[in-house]
Amino acid sequence: MENSSSNNDMVTILVCEGTGCVSSNSPEIREALESAIKAKDIADKVKVKFTGCHGFCQQGPIVIIEPEGIFYTHIKVENAEDIISSHIIDGKPMEDLFYKDPNTGEAIPNYKDIPFYKHQTRIVLRNCGHIDPENIEDYINTGGYSALKKVIAEFTPEQVIEEIRKSNLRGRGGGGFSAGMKWKFCRDAVGEPKYLICNADEGDPGAFMDRSTLEGDPHSVLEGMIIAAYAIGANHAYIYARAEYPLAIRRLRKAIESAKQYKFLGENILGSELNLDIEIIEGAGAFVCGEETALMASIMGKRGVPRPRPPFPAVSGVWGKPSNINNVKTYASVPVIINKGADWFSAIGSEKSKGTAVFALTGRIANSGLIEIPMGTPLRKIIFDIGGGVPDDKEFKAVQTGGPSGGCLPKDKLDLPANYEALTEAGSIMGSGGMVVMDEDTCMVDIAKFFIKFTQAESCGKCTPCRDGTKVMLNMLEDITAGRGKDSDIETLLDLGTVIQDSSLCGLGQTSANPVLTTIKYFEDEYISHIKDKRCPAKACKELFHYWIDPEKCIGCRACAKKCPAEAITGEKKQPHLIDNEKCIKCGICYSVCPKKARAVTKVDNTPGGGE
């Protein structure tokens, strides 16, 4: 009757249950599909599974039909019946549910052909969106835990370290230090017992790679950790996960339980002498706890305050014992390297940055989501070919990488390769992989203020350069964006930024000035405009512009007047309306509700002679 099941191939319908899709009721979609299958009595030919995050949350809820590879987007509960009767039974896929290219409108049925996925090399994210993260059998069926078996059967701990070192796997949390070397330092260090730690405190705003990996493929992280524990000689491991990721934590707990049942954790793992138990520690909302020494302090029940290094954690970590700490993605890469070999891994990427990088591409971008690509891929390809460029006909202005520790790179840096060295040289950093795209409507001074505000709030307070330095920078930026900037400000910010960089105790402080320094370096004209002309070119800084209704364009629909919370808009129906600037609180609601055909509400600079 229909093509898929006549091959005796079970049709599998995969429903995404990552945090994003769950927020749009994907579990109910799954239930509706299961009911429809039962009603049609085809449960022996079709099954439904839930998966973790595909990394394409903007298109969610996502449903995939395998083995065809059809990719459905924005699914609603009502679509379930049709998917079963039309696609599964009648063999007619639902074309209106296909992914549509946001720029061309072209419908692309198969996920392998979608540009967003086509250009990716998914290693860390290999299973995300394709397996049931709560079923260890699914993980095992894709080759899961075979690397662990291989290690126990064929490698000594030293050989594991050598293989990882040879692969040139560098820390994916942003530090970029050789994982193999770190493991070696820890193994060689004097002190027992040794500890293994997974840093799952993904605090960079704009980053959710670790979340998706933990929700979608928790076993890949566990397997990597068990191999690492074997290599360094640890018997107890911690996963420090931020409390803002409750689903990830739940999936991890379940995965740990399953791994124990299958004897991949516990005593005498796979008949070897390795014993390992993994404990989950929940963060309590402190960004600084992503810094390794602060993280360890938090594990030990203290305030998350960093300390100077040396001694490094490999020598003296939690409880004063040698500890190895790595990021989620670093551990998730380990099983693949063991199975496919160090040479295979180091053939991907660029000279000093091997393997793949996972970026969270967000902000003003057509295709927002997680992208895994070989290190060294040019930013232009990531943003335009994969990301689909900037929507709504707006001009690209900047891309921010590395979270609050990183910097903003302008248009003329788009051909830079995305690797540790190139990004650092340009003034930014690779970081954990956050990549936020900004367009002509983004004010770069406002962005610098945003990041300093964040870093200032998250500063632990221990050292003066960070605690007081970021506060002074924030005050200055607040003055500049409110039209109170002084001529000497740019120079002061540069001096201050350099001092903070050089003298802060930890990475948070040392990198806190990066957003300010890079925006001054690449967008100095915007600072000058704010300071000298009291003008915000992007018209984002509220105190420097006001809203004005163009009487030539206003159609008098009253949409703005009805929504204005300050009752500042007056006018008769079908007559041009007027905003009373004394009452206006600049909430921007009128600007967003004015019909596209009119576009009568505009932003006007406050300074005399300021145009639109």
Binding stretches for other proteins (CB under 8 A): 19-20, 22-24, 55-58, 60, 202-208, 211, 243-246, 281-287, 298-305, 360, 362-364, 368-369, 400, 403, 434, 436, 438, 442, 447, 450-451, 454, 458, 460, 563, 565, 585, 587-589, 592-593
Cβ-based nearer residue to other proteins, 177 or 450:
450
439 CB contacts (<8 Å, ≥6 apart)?
Answer: 364, 390, 394, 395, 396, 397
Whole-number Å distance between alpha carbons of 81 and 97: 13
Contact 496, 488 (CB under 8 A): no
- Six-digit token string for 590: 């009128």
Residue 297: CB minimum distance to other proteins, A: 10
User: What is the DSSP pairing of strand 356-363 with strand 434-439?
Assistant: parallel
Whole-number Å distance between alpha carbons of 297 and 201: 14
Contact 278, 239 (CB under 8 A): yes
Residue 437: CB minimum distance to other proteins, A: 8
Residue 178: CB minimum distance to other proteins, A: 28
Residue 230: CB minimum distance to other proteins, A: 26
Cβ-based nearer residue to other proteins, 22 or 32:
22
Cβ-based nearer residue to other proteins, 129 or 376:
129
477 CB contacts (<8 Å, ≥6 apart)?
Answer: 445, 448, 449, 452, 493, 516
Cβ-based nearer residue to other proteins, 42 or 247:
247
- Six-digit token string for 170: 């560098």
CA dihedral 517, 519, 521, 522 (to 10 degrees): 160
- Kindly report the number of other CB atoms within 10 A of residue 551's CB atom: 13
Look up residue 423 and give its DSSP letter: H
Cβ-based nearer residue to other proteins, 22 or 531:
22
Cβ-based nearer residue to other proteins, 245 or 312:
245
Cβ-based nearer residue to other proteins, 64 or 538:
538
Cβ-based nearer residue to other proteins, 152 or 247:
247
Say which residue the tokens 């706890």 belong to: 289
Contact 210, 200 (CB under 8 A): yes
Residue 363: CB minimum distance to other proteins, A: 4
Residue 23: CB minimum distance to other proteins, A: 3
Residue 56: CB minimum distance to other proteins, A: 7
Cβ-based nearer residue to other proteins, 252 or 286:
286
Cβ-based nearer residue to other proteins, 283 or 389:
283
- Could you tell me which of 348, 415, 383 has the C-alpha nearest to residue 170? 348
Residue 518: CB minimum distance to other proteins, A: 14
Residue 75: CB minimum distance to other proteins, A: 15
- Six-digit token string for 108: 């692309």
Residue 286: CB minimum distance to other proteins, A: 5
Whole-number Å distance between alpha carbons of 422 and 525: 24
H or E, element range at 323: strand 323-327
Residue 430: CB minimum distance to other proteins, A: 16
Dihedral sign from CA coordinates of 79, 92, 106, 123? positive
Identify the bridge partners of residue 548 per DSSP, sorted by sequence position. Answer: 602
Residue 402: CB minimum distance to other proteins, A: 11
Say which residue the tokens 């260090």 belong to: 189
Contact 228, 323 (CB under 8 A): no
Look up residue 491 and give its DSSP letter: H
Please give the angle made by the CA atoms of 361, 116 and 394, to the nearest 5 degrees.
60
User: What is the DSSP pairing of strand 63-66 with strand 578-579?
Assistant: unpaired
- Total length of the chain: 612
Cβ-based nearer residue to other proteins, 97 or 214:
214
Cβ-based nearer residue to other proteins, 292 or 458:
458
Cβ-based nearer residue to other proteins, 20 or 313:
20
Residue type present at position 14: L
Burial of 219 (0-12, 13-18, 19+ CB in 10 A): buried
Contact 51, 57 (CB under 8 A): no
Whole-number Å distance between alpha carbons of 507 and 488: 28
Residue 87: CB minimum distance to other proteins, A: 26
